[in-house]
Amino acid sequence: MTEPVHQYEVRAIRAGEEELFLKHMCTCFNLELDSARPIFFADPYFDITHKRILIDNSSGSIISGLTIIPTAVRVTGGALIPVAGIAGVCTTPEHRGQGYAQMLIRSTQQAAASEFGYVAAALSTDRPEIYRKLGFEHCSSVTHWTAHRNLLPPFPEASSAANSLLHDSHRLIAEIKALYEYARASQPGIFLRDDHRWQIIESRKPDDHVITWRDGIRLEGCVIYRTREHRGDRVMDIPDLIASTAAARRGLMGYIQRLEDIDLVTGQMRSSDVRKLGIQDIPRFTSYRREGVMMSILDFDACLSLVAQTGIMTPVVRRSESGLTIRLENALSTKDRKPLRLFSVSTDRLGVAIGMAPADEMTGDWISVDVGAMAQLYFGYTRASKLRSQDRLWISSENALAIAEALFPPYDTFMSQLDAF
C-alpha cells in the first residue's frame, strides 16, 4: 500500500533500497555501518516487504522507518493470533517530535492488516503515552526478581541437573525446542517462538549457558542464562526458564544454589512462574512487576472469529437469547466501528456477525468499549468488571457484563527477553 502525505510517501522499501534503510537506522541509533551490515542482512526475519519507511519524495531521503517482525500469541481456547511486532522505530534527529513516526505507525497498522493478514500489533516502549494515541495499550506484565544464590533452597532434585554451553550439541537445542513446545506453546498469553526466533536464540549461543534437568533421559527443564559482573558481584541473568514439572523447577533452582561462582541471580518472567519456583519467601528476595508489551487490535472481527472457531465461547454466549454485541469506541479502522454480534449457531458452533444494527440502536445484551481497553480485555490483561469500574467499558445489563467476564478471562500474558522484537 502506498499512502501519499503531501510530499511524503509511506510504503515498504523496494529492492535496491536496503542499504539506504540500513544507513537510516545507523544514523538514528548511532551504529557503525560496517559492523551493522552483516547483522542486518543475516537477520532470519529479513524481508523488504516488512521494512517500512516514510520518505521525502522531493529529496529521496528517509525520514522515519520501522520493521515488522512476524509473531503470534496464544489466547483463550488455544487460538493462535497473528501479530505484527513493530521494532526499530526510528526518525532522523532533525525530524523528531513532528509526528512522522506516528504517521508511519498508523499506516503500518493498516498495511499489516490489509496486506499481510495480521489481526493485532505489538511493541515494546518506554514512552507508552505516544502509542496510546494509536490504539496501543499495555497487555502484558513482567516480574523482575533478584535472589542471593546461596539463600536459594537446596532442593535435592538438583542431582539430576547438568550445566553446559548452549552450542555444545545440536541435539540439545532440538530437545529444548521440543520442551518449549510441550511446556509453553499451548499456554494462553505466550508468544510464538518459531524457527526464525530459534535461529536468533542459537546465534547468541557462544555466550549462553544452559542448565538442564532430566527425569532419566527425558529433558523436563532448562535454564538459559548469561553471567556478568556488577559492583563486584557475579550475576546470573535468566532470560528464560522452562520446566514441565515441579520436580524440574526445584532441580534447576537447587542446582543454581550450588554454583559457588555466582553471587546474585536475576530473572524476568511471569508472576505465576515466579510463584511456582517456590523462592519468593526466601530471605532478601526482591521482586517488582512492570507493564510489558503494548498491543493494538487491527481486525477485531478476525480476532473474535479465531477464538470463536475453538468452540470455547459457545456455551458462554448461549447464556443470552440474542448473543452478545460488542462495539469498539474510537477504533482506528472504519470496519471496527460497526458493532459485532456473537451468537450461537449450534451447541458447538459460534457465529460472528458484523454491523447487525447501527451502534445507537443496539438491543439485547451488549457492551461498548474503547479499542485500547478491548485489547487489554481480549489479551487477558484485565477483567471486564475492572474496565467498567474505570469507566472504560459500558454495558446494557449485568448479564452482558457476566458474559463478557466469562468470554475474556484474565491470564498472565508474557514475552520473554528472548522473544522481544
Residue 183 is part of a domain; what is its CATH number? 3.40.630.30
Q: How confident is the model at residue 122 (pLDDT cuts 50, 70, 90)?
A: very high
CB-based contact 50:12 (threshold 8 Å): yes
> Do 325 and 396 reside in the same domain of the chain?
yes
* Predicted local distance difference test score (pLDDT) of residue 346: 66
Q: How confident is the model at residue 202 (pLDDT cuts 50, 70, 90)?
A: confident
> Do 73 and 42 reside in the same domain of the chain?
yes
Q: Which residue type is seen at 194?
A: D
Q: Region 64-77: what's the mean pLDDT?
A: 93
* Predicted local distance difference test score (pLDDT) of residue 272: 87
> Do 248 and 384 reside in the same domain of the chain?
no
> Do 338 and 258 reside in the same domain of the chain?
no
pLDDT at residue 186 greater than cutoff 90:
no
* Predicted local distance difference test score (pLDDT) of residue 169: 67
User: pLDDT per residue over 390-408, tens digit each?
Assistant: 999 999 999 999 989 988 9
* Predicted local distance difference test score (pLDDT) of residue 338: 64
> Do 270 and 320 reside in the same domain of the chain?
no
> Do 163 and 282 reside in the same domain of the chain?
yes
Q: Which residue type is seen at 227?
A: T
> Do 366 and 388 reside in the same domain of the chain?
yes
d(CA 344, CA 348): 8
* CATH number of the structural domain spanning residue 388: 3.30.1050.10
Q: Region 17-26: what's the mean pLDDT?
A: 96
pTM for this predicted structure? 0.90
* Residue 390, domain member (yes or no): yes
CB-based contact 265:146 (threshold 8 Å): yes
Rounded (10°) CA dihedral 175, 179, 180, 181: 100
* Residue 127, domain member (yes or no): no
How many domains does the structure of the chain reveal?
3
* Residue 350, domain member (yes or no): yes
In this structure, what C-alpha cell is assigned to residue 175? 530437545
User: pLDDT per residue over 225-270, tens digit each?
Assistant: 999 999 999 999 999 899 999 999 999 999 999 999 999 999 999 8
Higher pLDDT, 76 or 355: 76
Q: Residue 103's Cα: distance from chain center in Å? A: 23
- Using the Cα atoms of residue 113, residue 122, residue 388 and residue 352 in order, give the sign of their dihedral: positive
| Of 178-192, 280-294, 352-366, the least confident | 352-366
The percentage of the chain sitting over the pLDDT mark of 70, rounded to a whole number, equals 91
Q: Which of 291, 323, 338 is the last residue of a domain?
A: 291
* Residue 124, domain member (yes or no): no
pLDDT at residue 413 greater than cutoff 90:
no
* Residue 53, domain member (yes or no): yes
Q: How confident is the model at residue 6 (pLDDT cuts 50, 70, 90)?
A: low
- Taking residue 156's Cβ as centre, other Cβ atoms within 10 Å add up to 11
* Residue 413, domain member (yes or no): no
Cα separation values, 258 from 148, 225, 229, 279, Å: 12, 15, 19, 15
Q: Region 76-99: what's the mean pLDDT?
A: 93
Q: Region 196-202: what's the mean pLDDT?
A: 87
| Of 106-110, 114-118, 354-358, the least confident | 354-358
In this structure, what C-alpha cell is assigned to residue 321? 437469547
Q: Which of 271, 291, 311 is the last residue of a domain?
A: 291
Q: Which domain holds residue 102?
A: 3-118
Residue 243 β-bridge partners: 221
> Do 268 and 329 reside in the same domain of the chain?
no
> Do 156 and 280 reside in the same domain of the chain?
yes
In this structure, what C-alpha cell is assigned to residue 278? 517456590
User: pLDDT per residue over 280-339, tens digit each?
Assistant: 999 999 999 999 999 999 998 888 888 888 877 778 777 777 778 888 876 555 554 567
> Do 157 and 209 reside in the same domain of the chain?
yes
> Do 364 and 243 reside in the same domain of the chain?
no
* Residue 75, domain member (yes or no): yes
Residue 293's nearest CA partner among 412, 123, 89, 136 is 123
* Residue 417, domain member (yes or no): no
> Do 228 and 153 reside in the same domain of the chain?
yes
